[in-house]
Chain A
Amino acid sequence: MTTSNLAHTNRRSVLKSGVAAVGGLLTASTVLGRPYLARAQAAKPSQLTMLYATVEADSDAVKTLLPQFKSLHGIDIAMDTMPYNALQQKVFAELASKSAYYDIVIVDAPWMSAVIDNIHPITDMILDSNLTDAAEFDLTDFIPKVFYDTAVFKPSASTVHWSQSGDVDAKAIKQGGFEIYGLPIQANALTMSYRKDLFEDADNKSAFQAKYGKPLAVPETWDDFVQVASFFTRPRKRLWGTTLMAGAGDWATDDFKTMLASFGGDGYMINDKFEPVFAGPEGVAALTFYVDLINKYKVTPPGTTSASWDTAATEFETGLVAMSMNYHTETLNASVHGTMDYAMVPKKVQYGPHFGAMMLSVNAFSKNKEWAYRTIQFLTGKASQAAMLPLQLHPTRRSAYEVAAKDPSYAQKFGNFYPVLGKSLENGVGRPRLKNYSDVDRSIWVAVNDAARRATTPEAALAKAAAQVKTQLAQAGYTPG
């Protein structure tokens, strides 16, 4: 990837120019596909190793499938896991050392631009009928948005987004000059959980009606949200309206970009031309509202300006809040004696919950690439995803959501979670594709945290972050234009 071709590439819309080259590429892909046909049965290893996330991508669910794979193919899958807070370092370290140890690695969407040279593209294997039964595997079953955001990248320009939104079509991807770099397995999106028992409580209902002149309902807009959250905030009874994750960390950036998108801004935060676009009027309005929730309306529990996703989860679990926004199913402690359900994160002018999926990819240095591919194909297949539902996998296939919708036991166990997650993914906003995203991410969360604890104003915090991000993008060779 060079600076010069980046400068001229218009991200997310490169396909337009690529269409002209379709004919030539079609031939190229058939030629490229041939080596796999020639040696369809690669030497079979007795064991494959996989680096995976601990709970954040639901390793418990994946574990349950491994015996089945073993009985099908006679291959043991040795799975090592790391918690998310150390996972990026671990994955990058493995790939940087060009080690063949892990055949399969988990890759989170924002890392891909940095590690693209070390991940083996699997488009040809998907198109190879000896390796993939197209009908059974059914690529079109993947949620297109999740699939494109997570797995489809342009080898020569890792910052470019695939612009289509229709069903996933490996041939079209190849023809567009893109490649598929893995298969999404866990799709996380910001969803709202709420205390059903508090919303259904008769006293609460009548008190809310009396105070606001309308029925108490789960809020769908931020304006309603402020009212409901204020209504439930009763510090003396150790109850607050909502959690937020305004502490210094990745979670604060993700909170902000959800707000930014819902206030009508570009939730990607960096536009096609490598310009920061989060400090404009929508950004300032979004961050001001976010800060106001904490400091003006005071609907969040103490500790919000140092909170992260685990503290938010604990606060909901222990019954301290009426509502919470997080990336997974939640539970209430037995001592809370409450009930709960899920809803979409509210909107201002539109929905824009932050989402990001993790995929299983083939290590470019693996000595067993074909079997690694077969493994991830198995693990992300229709049957597997459906089988992992009871253990709270966040599926990446539409069929899994249909299974969850049809079987009442899921509604019983997880309430609305799967329908809400499915809809949130449809409306979700991903992240910019930058090899130094972690730098950009940090500048933004520092701004959000600074503003949230009123060390500075939202305008000043965002302006400072935008200036820093400009420098960071220039240092990474991303020139605006």
Chain B
Amino acid sequence: MRKLAPLLLRLALWAILALTLFPIVWMVVTAVKPADMSQTLPPVWVFRPTMSNFVSVLTGKTYASQNFGVLLLHSLIVTVASTLLALLVGVPAAYGLARVRFRGRRAAATWILSTIMFPPAVSVVPIFILSARLSLTDTYPVLIVPYAAFSLPMVIWMLRSSIKQIPFEIEEAAMVDGLSQLAMVRVIVLPLLVPGIVAAALLSAILSWNEFLFALTLTRSKVQTAPVGLNEFTSMYGTQWGQLTAAATVTVAPILVMTLVLRRRLVEGLSFGAVK
């Protein structure tokens, strides 16, 4: 009995995992399947895998007007820039909220958190009109700033709790030793914040990488991102499942790899220092 329980647990876990990964497995299998097998039932499991879908997606040999590889590059630029922006403005804000006692601090903290509720479906039209008036449509900033703002409340709150977990005595001691405030933050605080920053950056990157509505509405071709391009594989004439799943696999892969590599930091960072 003692030995049976862990075995059952393992079995259950692997079974749930199989179920969870089923759609992803389907995606990858379809991407490497020859085109006329992708819809056949019973599902074909034994076939000679083909890379042709990946080749045509990444060399622009599809009916889409843009090479999907270029869209991935746009996505990469937007994601990296918006994540950096979120961290650049988020880290000082988190530090200020955690360490500096000033009037209105609490109200500011609550307001920052409450901006997270703004649905993109509501803000997209005003932002669209604004961007048209400022001639910002189809430029990088028009996606970078909103994406940074989408993840900023979460970034600030995750980092604020991480900072609060750093004993203040360490900072005091550092300053007594003659370090300037800025140097102290750089030398003492930032290294301790790395798990929190990694977790916040990863979540922020996932949000930006996968965003669809703003990307569809605010870009044309120069800044069009991968999720908008993915939509182009389905049309009135049917869906190009091979190309769609190949493009989707390529899109999902970097996020998956990053999640795999950074998962331990992610778990640490997600604790929000929430213990009461």
Interface residue ranges, A against B (CB under 8 Å): 51-52, 54-56, 59-60, 78-86, 89-90, 93, 96-99, 101, 238, 309-310, 313-314, 317-318, 327-328, 333-335
Contact = CB atoms under 8 A, between A and B. Distances in A.
B20 interface: no
A99 B37 CA distance: 45
8 contacts: A54-B64, A81-B65, A84-B236, A85-B235, A97-B137, A238-B41, A317-B39, A328-B236
A65 to B, nearest CB: 15
A318 B40 contact: yes
B237 interface: yes
A335 B231 contact: no
A314 B239 CA distance: 8
A56 B217 contact: no
Given A83-B231, A98-B132, 14 more contacts: A54-B232, A55-B236, A56-B235, A59-B65, A79-B65, A82-B232, A84-B236, A85-B231, A85-B235, A99-B137, A310-B238, A318-B40, A334-B36, A335-B40
A396 to B, nearest CB: 18
A80 B238 contact: no
A310 B40 contact: no
B123 interface: no
A335 B63 contact: no
A220 to B, nearest CB: 26
A55 B235 contact: yes
Nearest to A336: B36
A98 B129 CA distance: 10
Nearest to B138: A101
B37 A83 contact: no
Contact of A310 (B41, B66, B138, B237): B237
Interface string B12-45: 0000000000000000000000001101110000
Interface string B226-249: 001001101111110000000000
Contacts of B99: none
Interface string B157-185: 00000000000000000000000000000
B221 interface: yes
Interface in B52-97: 63-66
B217 A333 contact: no
A309 B237 CA distance: 7
A83 B220 contact: no
Indicate the member of B37, B40, B64, B238 with the most A CB atoms within 10 Å: B238
Nearest to A251: B236
B272 interface: no
A310 B231 CA distance: 13
Nearest to B238: A313
Nearest to B129: A97
A43 to B, nearest CB: 22
Nearest to B135: A99
Contacts of B63: 54-55, 59-60
Contact of B217 (A85, A93, A101, A328): A93
B103 to A, nearest CB: 42
B51 interface: no
Given A318-B39, A334-B36, A80 B221 contact: yes
Nearest to B220: A80
B49 to A, nearest CB: 18
B80 to A, nearest CB: 25
Closest 7 CB pairs of A and B: A97-B132, A81-B65, A313-B238, A333-B36, A55-B235, A80-B221, A310-B238
A80 B234 contact: no
B187 interface: no
Contacts of A317: 39, 238
A469 B59 CA distance: 47
B234 A86 contact: no
A83 B232 CA distance: 5
B132 A55 contact: no
A318 B36 CA distance: 8
Contacts of A334: 36
Contacts of B65: 52, 54, 59, 79-81
A327 B236 CA distance: 9
A317 B36 CA distance: 10
A314 B241 CA distance: 11
A334 B138 CA distance: 42
B220 A81 contact: no
A9 B64 CA distance: 43
B216 interface: yes
A97 B220 contact: no
B237 A97 contact: no
Contacts of B228: 86
Contacts of A55: 63, 235-237
B220 A84 contact: no
A80 B237 CA distance: 19
A61 B216 CA distance: 25
B36 A313 contact: no
Nearest to A313: B238
Nearest to B233: A83
Contact of A328 (B66, B128, B137, B237): B237
Interface in B232-276: 232, 234-239
A90 B231 CA distance: 13
Nearest to A79: B65
Contacts of B235: 54-56, 83-85, 310
Contacts of B132: 96-99
A80 B220 CA distance: 8
A298 to B, nearest CB: 20
Contacts of A83: 231-232, 234-235
B36 A86 contact: no
Contacts of B237: 55-56, 309-310, 313, 328
Contacts of A60: 63
Indicate the member of B137, B216, B228, B237 with the most A CB atoms within 10 Å: B237
